[in-house]
Amino acid sequence: MIKPNIRIEECASQVWDVIIVGAGPAGGLAAVLLARKKLRVLLVDRQAFPRPKVCGCCLNGNAIATLKETGLHHLLTENQAILLNEMCLGSKKINHTFPLQRQMVISRECLDSSLIQEAMREGAFFLDTTLAELGQLTTSSREVFLKQGELQFLSTAKIVVAADGLGGRLLVRKNITTHLASNNTRIGAGVTVFDPPDFYKTGTLFMTSGNGGYVGLVRLEDGRLDLAAAFDPLAIKKHGGMGPLAKALLKEMEWPLPLDLEIAPWRGTPALTGHIEQVATERLFVIGDAAGYIEPFTGEGMAWAFTGANFVAPLIAKGVGCWEPELAKQWISKYKSHIINRQGVCKAAAFLLRWPLLVKLALMGLKAFPFLSKPVVAMLDKPNKAATSI
């Protein structure tokens, strides 16, 4: 377990430079970068760590490049992250395997916990099992209510960062912005299983698409098999649950079934595709899944989280020293250019995966012309232009 290095009572006795709500990849990386700048950083999460997470656990070349740029690539090597060599994509009993060059896989339990530990080593404070609610905006800070059971304390920060994930509503609950879910969006589903069939070999990302959704399968560093899926809610209801739907999709491909897949402890998410109306306002920035999300593809979701943290950190540091409204405008612009503009391929992939027949035709095309997969993979692996003043 990752032990907090501060008690909730102590958090109310000081004004923080930054309070980050949410200790996932975006919040964890932001805490590391800001603590390095000798800012007083409080990282808060409602969960205890390590904790399971619905996630494919893949990092593409863009995400890995950000970790290298920020001096954190060692977190992957120390935790024995696995190099992904290839992806096997299937639909309607047809599959095609194509190479991957710069992608890795690591469990979210390891990755998130390692980022928190790194942030604490840099001087950040971490508080778990704590709910955070926005309070009033003052001329020099924002109030944040911190709650643990019956305990509640009011803390203040010069800057607040909302990194509370896909279901995060830190801003929505205060009517600062509105969350807009896309029509007919799928929900995320995930589970990890022990002793999976040997068919699912280490270093290969498996993915199958069919009626009702798609599911990806990949071996983790400890040998478990991680299953991450996007399912239509009606299909889940039709099949009687997430596990039976995943079983149906794998049986359609005639891939081996992990033991007890139907009764495994599947976890779900809110709607996968949606966004909020604004990702920054006075003394407040939104990063990671809380800012907006679409169905990701081969680790791009993790890359968006790391990119956001990397690019927002210099703006936050400036805002702590002297807040200017222009800083919020700059983050809105950077978010659009470095994250939203990269989501086009994932939107196209999400559309394609809703039509298994189109996936089948695409696979037939890849079998005939294997080189067609290279530009897509290369685009996902291409690093964002480096942030300044990190």
H or E segment and range at residue 342: none
More confident residue, 131 or 339: 131
Q: What is the pTM of this model?
A: 0.93
Stretch 328-345: mean pLDDT, rounded? Answer: 88
CA-wise closest residue to 89 among 377, 379, 382, 344: 377
3-state class of 371 per DSSP?
A: helix
Cβ neighbours, 10 Å, residue 157: 24
Share of the chain above pLDDT 90, in %: 70
- Any idea which residue has 């709910």 for tokens? 131
Which residues, other chains included, contact 325 with Cβ-Cβ below 8 Å and sequence gap of 6+? 282
- Measure the CA–CA gap between 386 and 390, rounded to whole angstroms: 9
Express each pLDDT in 28-41 by its tens digit.
999 999 999 999 99
Express each pLDDT in 60-106 by its tens digit.
999 999 999 999 999 999 999 999 999 999 998 899 998 998 899 99
Strands (DSSP E) found in the chain: 15-21, 41-44, 58-59, 82-91, 94-105, 125-127, 131-137, 142-148, 151-162, 179-181, 187-193, 204-210, 213-219, 225-231, 267-271, 274-276, 280-281, 284-286, 292-293
pLDDT of residue 297: 66
What radius of gyration do the chain's Cα atoms show? Answer: 21
| Ramachandran class of 129: left when φ > 0, alpha when ψ lies in -120 to 50, beta otherwise | left
- Measure the CA–CA gap between 235 and 211, rounded to whole angstroms: 8
Q: Are strands 225-231 and 187-193 parallel, antiparallel or unpaired?
A: antiparallel
* Position 351, amino acid: F
More confident residue, 198 or 12: 198
Stretch 344-358: mean pLDDT, rounded? Answer: 77
H or E segment and range at residue 106: none
Express each pLDDT in 140-177 by its tens digit.
999 999 999 999 999 999 999 999 987 777 887 777 77
> What domains does the chain contain, in order, with CATH numbers?
8-51+109-182+273-348 (3.50.50.60), 86-104+184-271+350-378 (3.30.9)
Backbone angles phi, psi at 19, to 5 degrees: -115, 125
Give Dmax over CA atoms of the chain in angstroms: 66
Q: What is the DSSP letter of 107?
A: -
More confident residue, 117 or 377: 117
Counts for the chain of helices (H) and strands (E), in that order = 12, 19
Stretch 43-62: mean pLDDT, rounded? Answer: 91
Q: Distances in Å between the alpha carbon of 46 and those of 108, 165, 265?
A: 16, 11, 21
- Any idea which residue has 């089948």 for tokens? 360
- Measure the CA–CA gap between 302 and 63, rounded to whole angstroms: 6
